Amino acid sequence: MRCRPFKVIAIHDAEHPRMVEREGDRRVLAALADAGSNLAKPAHTIHFLYFKSVDAAQSAASELQAAGYQNIRVHRAPTKSLWKRLFGPHEYSCIAETHAIPSEEGVFATTDRMNALAQKFGGDYDGWEASVEK
């Protein structure tokens, strides 16, 4: 008896990282709501991206600035490893701030855009945080 490939698993596996991101976004939204935040009000939101080179981080920063983000900073990312601190490889953070209404639809769209930007320059999007607005 031969086993046939189960195509649904392949589709599910391709979507798995996105589902994990969605769940992470939902957890942050739930934490904001649990803290009493009014999710209909714009919140101070900070996004964190990481890159292998300062040039890649600065390129992403330029695109974020053009998209209207503020307080954009590029720094060498801290590491706990003494070896990495001394000899590398080093990572560079790109941190950008904005004010946005933390709706599920808006957060998902922003996460998708940030992931695309990080991938464009060979980096990773590490997520976001937002202020509690009463």
User: 19: domain CATH number?
Assistant: 3.30.70.970
What is this structure's pTM?
Answer: 0.84
Q: Does a structural domain hold residue 1? A: no
**Region of poorest pLDDT, from 16-20, 54-58, 108-112:** 16-20
Q: Does a structural domain hold residue 16? A: yes
Q: Does a structural domain hold residue 25? A: yes
Q: Does a structural domain hold residue 2? A: no
pLDDT tier at 39, thresholds 50, 70, 90? very high
Q: Does a structural domain hold residue 54? A: yes
Q: Does a structural domain hold residue 72? A: yes
Burial (CB count <10 Å: 0-12, 13-18, 19+), residue 92: buried
pLDDT in tens, 64-89: 999 999 999 999 988 877 777 778 78
Give the range of the structural domain holding residue 16, as residue numbers without chain letter: 7-130
How many domains, the chain? 1
Confidence at residue 88, expressed as pLDDT on a 0 to 100 scale = 78
